[in-house]
Every structure is written in C-alpha cells, then in structure tokens.
Amino acid sequence: MSELFDELRMIFVKLRDPKNGCPWDIKQTPSSLQEYIIEEAHELTEAIADGCPDKQKEEMGDLLLQIFFLSQIMDEQKLFNIDDVMSTLKEKLIRRHPHIFEERTQLTDDEVKRNWENIKKKEKSKQSIISDYPDSMPALAVCKRISEQVASVGFDWKDANQIRKKIDEELLELENALTTEEQTEECGDLLFAIANLCRHYKVHPELALKAANRKFIKRFRYMEQKVNKTDKGFTFHSLEELDTLWEESKQENL
C-alpha cells in the first residue's frame, strides 16, 4: 500500500514538472480544479446510486486524483503536502471519536452525531452550532445538515407525526398566500419541513429527490416512445390517455 501511494505521488510530481511535465497539468491551479472536484463528487454519488462496484471504484479513483493533484500544488507552494492532509484527517477522526479512542463508551448513532457537532463547535470556536455552508451546496443537503445540527442540541420535533402536522400547516399557509413573494416563502417552508421528515426516516432528501427525478424521466420517456409511435403528438392525446401510458410505464418497473 505504501509503495503504491508513493508511486501515485511521484506521478503527480512528474505531471507538474515545469520542464518535462504535462502542459495542461502544469497550468492548473486550486481555483481551476474546483469544477473537476465538484464534477467527480457528483459522478461518484451517481455511481453509488447505480450500484455498480466497478464504476464506483473508478469514480473513487477520479475523486482521489483531485486530492493528490491539489496536494501536489500546495506542496509546490510550500503550504502543505498529502502527508499533512492525512495526518490532519487522522487526528480529527481520533479527536471526534472519544467514545472509541478514549472512554470506550457505548453510544447510539444519534449520540455520536451530537458529540461530533459539539466537539466540532469547540474546535472551531464557533458561536453557533450551525455551520457556514457554501452557496454552491444543494439547498436540500444544507437543510438536512442544519436540522441535524440543531437536533444535536435538542431542538427537534419529537416524532414523525409532529412533522406531518407541520407539513399540513405549511400546505395551508401556502394555499392562503396571496403574493408571489409569500408563495415563495411558504414553498420554502414546506420543502424545509418535508426535508426534516426525510431526515426522521434517515432518508437523505437530496438523494431521494434525485432518485425521483431519474424515475420520472424514465417513465416519461417511455410515454414519449409510445406517443411517437402513434400518428398524433402529445397535444392530441387526452390526459386520460397519457395517464394510461404512465401506468403502463410503472408496470414495466420503470
């Protein structure tokens, strides 16, 4: 493992060599790598959703590539290297798991999360239990993390029934909203409540919505294929006819 690690590190040293390296790799900067880091992270989550181990292995490598690449650039700037990255990670994992590496106490997963957030707050001298999230992070994912963090200090609904009541309340407020601004706000409140219901059932709202999008696309494309085989387009099919095709797509396990 150590030999392979060193070989990978040396590959990036060669790729970044000012005289004999790759022109594209040489000109990259931390800023230019941002889009690739985001892209590879999304491709890895997609591979996990698809359940293909070979694809997951490949995408994990692509994401690791970005870590090595960025670490090499930082090493050239005398800021830190890949060893420092791993050392920092090792120390963090030990520090934030005192129930494993210190007290050896039995904790539930919820208690572990609370400990993690409290330790994190102390480490960063944070004034708030809620972290600062980048604007580029998906809103549903941020919502999940916010609700987890406030729940870690006891600010949470007791059970799913309370959250469902909150959803009903937000639906009513949305129905009563008169202006676009009010409707936007109430839609946001409704989505926030639904995301919390997902969290209660240990379902990630962002991943659940992505799966729903994929399913909808497959079913709608099935409908499109059926409609395209007829002599009339979508606008000449009744809603009842389209609903029948939609039900057919469900029967096809799409």
The pLDDT score that the predictor gives to residue 1 is: 54
What is the rounded CA–CA span in Å between residue 88 and residue 137? 24
Cα–Cα distance measured from residue 57 to residue 62, given in angstroms and rounded to the nearest whole number: 9
Amino acid at 186: E
d(CA 99, CA 91) in angstroms, rounded, equals 15
Q: Report the C-alpha gap between 65 and 58 in whole angstroms.
A: 10
CA-closest candidate to residue 84, choices 100, 63, 97, 67: 67
CB 218 within 8 A of CB 254: yes
Q: Answer for the pair 75, 81: CB distance below 8 angstroms, yes or no.
A: yes
Who's near 129: CB < 8 A, 6+ residues apart? 117, 118, 121, 149, 150, 152, 153
**Distinct helix (H) and strand (E) counts, the chain:** 12, 0
| Tokens encoding 170 | 């937000």
pLDDT confidence of residue 229: 86
Picking from 34, 20, 43, the residue whose alpha carbon sits closest to that of residue 70 is 34
Q: Which residue has the tokens 């690791």?
A: 64
What's the average pLDDT block by block, 10 residues per block, for the chain (254 residues)?
A: 88 96 96 91 89 95 96 96 95 91 83 82 80 87 91 89 96 95 96 95 91 92 89 84 90 77
Report the 10 Å Cβ neighbour count for 112: 14
This prediction's pTM: 0.65
pLDDT on residue 113:
80
DSSP letters along 124-163, please?
Answer: TT-SSSSPP--TTS-HHHHHHHHHHHHHTTT-S-SSHHHH
Q: How many whole angstroms separate alpha carbon 121 and alpha carbon 131?
A: 9
Q: How far apart are the first and last CA of the chain?
A: 42
pLDDT at 199: 93
Between CA 94 and CA 22 the distance in angstroms is 38
